[in-house]
Structure 1
Amino acid sequence: MTPVSGQQHPISLYLKIWGLLFVLSAMSYMVDYFHFEGYLRWTLIIIFMLLKAGLIVAVFMHMAWERLSLVYAILVPPLCLLVLVWLMAEEAGHTLLTRLLFFH
């Protein structure tokens, strides 16, 4: 029998990331506990959500150790879609403003 060769990451790395995810989740809950409101609340929630998702993708899905071309192939299309959604939302706002201005 031949030994299987591959990447082996220390368990301490996964435990540290798990602990960091726990801290980020606690901070996310603290946003509601301290009754933040408005744009500050949503900005903090989105920042914590993106940090947690980035850690999960980078470490637990092993993207941190992949080739850069594979990372680009996975991350660039959703980013392009987000840019297109943002452009469509901007155009929708302009169209609504124009209709309210001229037809109201």
Structure 2
Amino acid sequence: MDHAATANTAPPQEEHQEHPIKLYLTVWTWLFILSVGSYMVDILQFQGLLRWGLIIALMLLKAGLIIAVFMHMAWERLALSYAILVPPVLILVFVAMMGIEASYTEWMRVFFLSGGT
């Protein structure tokens, strides 16, 4: 085996991925538009479920853009994406289930402890 040939070979370079500036400008533009939408919910004085639904939807869209592009999750392996994204989604599902059960429990207590009227 020729030691000179193996000494001159450089180790393989890690792949470095650069994204075009247009991608970041597009994401910043969408984040700006979604933020304006969030402020418009307050300016137009939406109330009740519509207000909170719009605020949460816009917030989740902005968070999704930030996670996908700025945290580079759009280019990660699917297993890593699942490992990071699935636990918070499950927590939200469990919180929603607890909220539904809490409303049911409150209704049952009010109904039965007030004499059933």
Greater displacement, 46-55 / 29-38: 29-38
- 1:24 alignment partner, SS class: helix
Identity across aligned pairs (percent)? 59
- 1:58 alignment partner, SS class: helix
> What is the rounded CA distance, in whole Å, between the counterparts of 1:64 and 1:87 in structure 2?
29
Seen in structure 2, the aligned counterparts of structure 1 residues 100 and 13 have a Cα distance that, compared at 3 Å, is same
The one-letter code matched in structure 2 to 1:100 is V
Greater displacement, 84-93 / 69-78: 84-93
Report how many residues are paired. 103
Is 1:96 aligned with 2:106? Answer: yes
Please, which runs of 5 or more residues in structure 1 have no aligned partner?
none
The one-letter code matched in structure 1 to 2:95 is V
> What is the rounded CA distance, in whole Å, between the counterparts of 2:25 and 2:44 in structure 1?
28
Q: 1:58 maps to what in 2?
A: 68
* Structure 1 residues 67-86: aligned runs within 5 Å: 67-86=77-96
Give the superposition deviation at 1:75. 0.7
CA RMSD of aligned residues (A): 1.6
The one-letter code matched in structure 1 to 2:47 is E
Seen in structure 2, the aligned counterparts of structure 1 residues 4 and 70 have a Cα distance that, compared at 3 Å, is closer
Is 1:48 aligned with 2:58? Answer: yes
TM-score normalized by the length of structure 1: 0.90
* Structure 1 residues 4-23: aligned runs within 5 Å: 5-23=15-33
Give the superposition deviation at 1:5. 4.0
Instruction: Please tell me whether Structure 1 or Structure 2 has the larger radius of gyration of its CA atoms.
Output: 2
Give the superposition deviation at 1:36. 1.5
| Misfit runs of 4+, over 3 Å | 2-5
TM-score normalized by the length of structure 2: 0.81
Identify the structure with bigger relative contact order (alpha carbons < 8 Å, sequence gap 6+).
Answer: 1
Give the superposition deviation at 1:4. 6.6
The one-letter code matched in structure 1 to 2:38 is S
